[in-house]
Structure 1
Amino acid sequence: MMNCKYCGSEKIVKNGTIKGTQVYKCKECKKRFFLNGKFAKMRNDKTMIVAALNFYYDGLSMRKAQRNLEQIFGEKITQVTILNWIKKYSILVKEYVTTQVPQLSGLWHEDETMLGCEGRNIWFWEMIDEDTKFMVASHISNTRTFEDTVAIFKKGFEQSKVRPRTVFVDGCNAYSRAFNKVFYTMRKDTRPELVQRVGIRARETNNIVERLHGTLKDRTRCMRGLHSYESTKLLLEGWSVHYNCVRPHQTLGGKTPAQAARMQVPNTWKGLIEEATKHETNTVAKATNLKATAISKKKIEVKI
């Protein structure tokens, strides 16, 4: 069965040739394309792009990822090209995944860790669901302030669509005020609990997040040459997609956190990119249709 590589529709027809290669057109989204085993608007085979993403987010440096791609596919790809693939699809898939709502236990663990960037330190904040190991939210900042604490709580609320039952944090004073600002409700039956620990007790309570910190720092050791704050921010967001949707978790019996949270998303970069492309195409089509409808209504009102 042949499908449109943009929207996934089966309603495709032949639409001429280009340099002897058959071109197809989708009756749904009206886009033209080749059925050539490549992602939309890309020259390289999708298998190579997926391999690059897996190599990089599994911990290989850009140089090692480049060398492995050349050995496997017999084609020399520049590090700039690999980085462009990573940036392009990290953004695309992140936007798609955030539209899906995970089913969580409601027991969230929040912590932050310091990372090096541009010769200075930045903060990476993360919120992990206890039972599913799903990263509910992440936040990157130059500071460690009340506003940053509010930001990570808000992102968690927006992703899950419901308040947590309990949030475990360390002893930082900013947590209590930020927690009340985002989660407080007059109804006692839906009011979350904030559990704060300090010292050794904090490490014991938040050991889920501490293990994630170790995994993250193993990954960032190979991020040489990424001196831009914006690039680091984008790649860390891509890493959170890899952690949630692609990387199997040993304590979950080989499932990904997204599968444990019953999210209806693929567990491979290939599947995620294809679904994200469909989502983007359909979103743009709906926006275009709404705009056209609004313009038509205005014209009718003017005539009347």
Structure 2
Amino acid sequence: MKCIYCNSLLTVKNGYSEKGVQRYKCNDCKKRFCEKGIFARMRFPKEVITNALFLRLYPLSTRNVKRVLRKLNYIKVSHVSIYNWVLKFARHLCKFANIFPLRFTNLWHVDEKFIKVRRANKKRKKEFAYLWIVSDSKNNVLATHVSFARDIVNAKIVLQKAKQRTGFIPEILVSDGLQSYKKAVKKIFGKKTRHVIAHFKAKNVIHKGKWYKLSNNRAESINRFYALWLHVCKGFKRLDNANLWIEFFTVNYNYLIPRGEKEEVKVEWKKVPMLIKNVS
């Protein structure tokens, strides 16, 4: 049995709970846990929680997920509980990137869009933040970042995230006309990456003897995919929660949502509960 806190295998049985659930103790971190793992001390069964997370993969609000669960499972669940489940288990779903690495291409796209996030300073009427998204030519999302400022500092952050995620730098990076990308690309990727500025209209580029017809329409299409999810959220209350929810959506987009003509998924949902338990 693997420890749910430090992932150590040096665990021993440590009695039973009042309900007869096997308990374990880790000899490394000295903490105790039960065989239910991260689903321990939850009021609702594991099946109800996983069903709620599955429904939230699609553009359904937490209130609509609550109504579907009540209709199908005849279980009354609060929309606040569903919100808290997403915040708790999204951190474990984000670890899928380490278990199932994707094959990214050398052609990247970066773009940003407005999302609604409440500011700590209530005197400022504008409650908008910027969602930065880096994707490749196969519609895989490499990195995301949410910030209040649209400057070179946050451009560097999202590009650095993409570099750490993939382990290499792209040959070509396509962006819009935001000036912050110019210095950010030179700082993070160096001179080996060619920065191409292209909007909706395709631009002909010859790079290393190959002809490319580049535009940023691919990034805009991914932005519309996020917009479907964000439409039912009606904004976020905090910046850290916004980043966590966006990471949750990114994992769903890369691994769990059917895409392409064959409607294939990279990870079957029936394997998710066991994977969550193992990577926790």
TM-score by length of structure 1 reads: 0.73
Which residue of the partner structure matches residue 228 of structure 1? 238
Q: State how 1:16-165 maps to structure 2 within 5 Å.
A: 16-19=15-18, 21-25=20-24, 31-34=32-35, 39-95=39-95, 97=97, 101-118=101-118, 120-131=127-138, 133-165=139-171
Segments ≥4 residues shifted beyond 6 Å = 26-30
Write the distance in 1 (CA, Å) between the matches of 2:186 and 2:19.
65
Percent of counterpart pairs with the same letter? 21
> Once the two structures are superposed, what CA deviation does each residue of 1:51-87 show, in whole Å capped at 9, x if it has no partner?
1112223111111111111222222111221111000
Q: Does 1:171 align with 2:177?
A: yes
Contact in 2 for aligned 1:12/1:26 (Cα 8 Å):
yes
CA distance 1:225–1:141, change in 2 (3 Å): closer
Q: Does 1:254 align with 2:263?
A: yes
User: Could you say which structure has the higher helix fraction?
Assistant: 1
Gaps of 5+ in 1: 186-190, 260-265, 281-304
Larger Rg: 1
Q: Aligned letter for 2:85?
A: W
C-alpha RMSD over aligned residues: 3.1
3-state SS in 1 of match to 2:56? helix
Aligned-pair CA distance for 1:96: 5.3
Paired residues, what number? Answer: 260
**Does 54-63 or 153-162 show the bigger shift?**
54-63
Gaps of 5+ in 2: 119-125, 204-213
> Once the two structures are superposed, what CA deviation does each residue of 1:85-115 show, in whole Å capped at 9, x if it has no partner?
0001112322453576432111111111112
CA distance 1:272–1:26, change in 2 (3 Å): farther
CA distance 1:43–1:208, change in 2 (3 Å): same
Q: Aligned letter for 1:197?
A: A
3-state SS in 2 of match to 1:221? helix
